[in-house]
Chain A
Amino acid sequence: MLGSACISLKIPAVFPGGDRVDRMVICASVAFDKGLYEPRDITSDFRLRDGRVVCHVRLNDVGRELRLRWRWYDPGGRLFRDTGDLLVNVEERFLSVLTATDILELTEDWDDGAIGRWTVVFTVDDVRVESLDFRIGRD
């Protein structure tokens, strides 16, 4: 018996679903607000005495396990801190929003090589890349 199957499709004009980095910011701290950690005091200028630099990331529509990773580069362009892969959502639940942070600790006894423009790079599954610049000054 002969038969045929037919498939037709329409590409949606709205934003496609999928885990995507919606926003990445550098800030001085985070605060728990309405069930999520949200950035506070967003800035790109820091002093060594500030003690820390926070990189806050917000991802939307996460429906599977993701590998998140932060890499921090000093003003000479050398890798200073690497978090390695951090697994999130291993249960593969659907999350409309996921926020994540990494912190660069600052100490006042750092030498002049730490003064200048830094870069933080965030990757999802080694493929999706976000980067931001910020400055560290002495005083």
Chain B
Amino acid sequence: MILGCLAAAGVVFAAEKPFLRIDGAYLAYSYDFNQIYGENVRFRFAGYDVSGNRLRIDLASQSFRLSGAVRMIEPDRVLEGDELFFVPHDESGVLVAYGEIISRMPIGEADIQALLNLRPNTEDISPSRIAGSLFYFSGRRMDITPSYDLYGRDVTLFIEGLESIGLTRFRLSEGIRQVENGFVLERLRYNRGRGLNARAGYIYRSGDKFRSLSSLDYEERALFRGIGGLPRQADIRTDNTLFLGRNLDLDLSAQYNTSGLFSSSLSMSRSGGGDNRFRAGIAHNRPINRPAETWLETSVLAVRPKGGRLEFFGGYEARNQVAARLDYGLPLRENLNFRLGSTYAALRGGRTGALSRIFTGNLDLVWSARIFDLSSHYFLNSDLVGRSLLSQPQLRIGLRPVSLYDGWLSLRLDNIFIYNRMRLGEDWSTAYSNNTMLYLSARPAAIGNGFSFGWDLALEEFLEKQGRNFFSGGLILRAEQKLGPRVALEGLYRYRTRRLSQGWLIEGTSGQDLSAVFRVRPADPFGGWMSLSYDPAAGRLRQSFADVSVGLVKNWRFHSQMNWDFLLNKLNNIDLYLIREAGRFQVRFMWRSISRQILVELVPR
């Protein structure tokens, strides 16, 4: 399956001309890390025939570095140096020589500092790193295209260090985003649960004038037994942008799904420098089981250093539907912020298609001081058809965490007061509530002989007009005993209580649990933890969880997670993983006891 994915990634029907052809005594490309390492290489760059001892390329960051006995030859001169940092696509570079001083000679229109700043990206590229890859290719010639695709000629594929197949010409890198022009079969997969899934894309770009990306997703289930759902499904999508001038674009996009969904939009956008922009367009959507909609839309974003940030969206639909949104934010002072927002929506919904008209508004004023935040909010929701109205002012005071006793103790206090005034028809009602929360936390303190102790306390008081008041509290005690450099035993005791008071009636609940965790901090080759929880009130064990990780050979790792239920006296679940870390992706072989399935996953990272 893995080979299938790699092969699928490699199928390209229209290739670009390479802008860097590298010949070397030895070249290797790591698929895991998207990096190239080469020895005794030569290539043509910026009009020079370049040769050198050791080449390192990080394709993801587009960092190129040639080290050792670097020679750059053109018909009438020869340049020599110790290292060349270069960017092939704009033919710029810097040739560095280490003598009594460091001399740096620019090649082309080079930004020397920017080129030298790319140096860290190539520092970890080494023969052992490449050879430790799950997939790597070796050969004597490689081509890099302007979209940073990599093609190898007469390359050999190595899987986990073992020589695999030889390939005459092969696309080594992958990715629809990297391709400048052409058709790409991006994915071809079979999954027992979903059947066959293919994704293909076509990219066309004409200089700075036009860009188009179209894709097709296809799922086939009818040909395979035991797979539910639609027999097959296709999703076609196209996004096209015509660059009409500086800061002026015309966008056309459409999407069609064989289930019947269709949407399309045509819009023009103009950016006015910085974040300022204007957009206007028309959109047509055809959802399932609902009437089609055609919207005329416009949006404006205006940002002024002193005038604040204004954002507006307005839309009108052919069946008299309207949607509008306005947001305005203004920093009044360094620590005082003002924000005003409003929406209006006249939308049709339900089976009858009746029109609802809702107006909402909010007004916020936030003051941030050194030790507390004070904010006032006002929210209004008015149903203009149903004649209901909610008016809700809110006041929040929050004490920023205060450190006491040299940071050992941390204190935080929040208070929220909300006043609601509601109208339903001709009836008015009011409600109010106040919520106060206090958090007190003590950092673990070392007591001696590897023993440390800390605690957290949280209290909350809720009062409201209707009298459904409550008080709740929670206490957590944490202790840790170190048993070795990586081994520790942790204990955790939690107690929580909640008291409801309504008039003379007080009722409440409380709960507590005690748990212990035996932890081995991850390091080669072993890491993991096991927990045991105990109910002190009932006097019995509850659950046990375990998470174990063991390093195997190379970058392979065995991982297991399990859960034992003492109440039912059975193993609830056990998951077993065999994981291969491979740079930009991870290969996982999994067995899950609940689903009783073996799964293989390629997880991008």
User: What residues of chain A have their CB less than 8 Å away from a CB belonging to chain B?
Assistant: 11, 13-16, 20-24, 44, 60, 71, 73, 77-79, 119, 121, 127-133
Picked from A60, A79, A121, A133, the residue with its CB within 8 Å of the CB of B82 is A121
Residues from chain B with a CB closer than 8 A to the CB of A11 are 140
Q: Is B23 an interface residue (CB 8 A)?
A: no
Query: Are A79 and B100 in contact, with the CB atoms below 8 A?
Result: yes
Query: Are B127 and A129 in contact, with the CB atoms below 8 A?
Result: no
Task: List the B residue with the shortest CB-CB distance to A121.
Answer: B98
Interface residues of chain A: helix, strand, loop or mixed (majority):
strand
Residue among A15, A23, A71, A132 having the largest count of chain B Cβ atoms under 10 Å: A15
Picked from A13, A44, A132, the residue with its CB within 8 Å of the CB of B163 is A13
Q: Using known A-B contacts A14-B138, A16-B39, determine if residue A131 contacts B98 with beta carbons closer than 8 Å.
A: yes
Query: Are B128 and A77 in contact, with the CB atoms below 8 A?
Result: no
A60 to B116, CA, bound (A): 27
Q: Using known A-B contacts A78-B100, A121-B98, determine if residue A129 contacts B123 with beta carbons closer than 8 Å.
A: no
User: What are 18 A-B contacts defined by CB distance under 8 Å?
Assistant: A14-B138, A16-B39, A20-B39, A23-B126, A23-B128, A73-B98, A77-B102, A78-B100, A78-B101, A79-B100, A79-B101, A128-B53, A128-B67, A129-B98, A130-B67, A131-B67, A131-B83, A132-B123
Q: Using known A-B contacts A129-B68, A132-B123, determine if residue A13 contacts B102 with beta carbons closer than 8 Å.
A: no
User: What residues of chain B have their CB less than 8 Å away from a CB belonging to chain A?
Assistant: 25-26, 28, 39, 53-54, 67-69, 82-83, 96, 98-103, 116, 119-120, 123, 126-128, 131, 138-140, 156, 158, 163, 166
Residues from chain B with a CB closer than 8 A to the CB of A78 are 100-101
A128 to B158, CA, bound (A): 27
A44 to B53, CA, bound (A): 25
Task: List the A residue with the shortest CB-CB distance to B124.
Answer: A23
Task: List the B residue with the shortest CB-CB distance to A25.
Answer: B123
Query: Are B102 and A119 in contact, with the CB atoms below 8 A?
Result: yes
Query: Are A127 and B53 in contact, with the CB atoms below 8 A?
Result: yes
Nearest Cβ in chain A — how far from B524, in angstroms?
A: 12
A78 to B28, CA, bound (A): 35
Residue among B25, B26, B139 having the largest count of chain A Cβ atoms under 10 Å: B26
User: Lowest 4 CB-CB distances: which A-B pairs, in order?
Assistant: A77-B102, A13-B156, A129-B68, A129-B82
Nearest Cβ in chain A — how far from B581, in angstroms?
A: 18
Task: List the B residue with the shortest CB-CB distance to A26.
Answer: B123
Query: Are B98 and A127 in contact, with the CB atoms below 8 A?
Result: no
Residues from chain B with a CB closer than 8 A to the CB of A14 are 138, 158, 163
Residues from chain A with a CB closer than 8 A to the CB of B101 are 73, 77-79
Query: Are A60 and B127 in contact, with the CB atoms below 8 A?
Result: yes
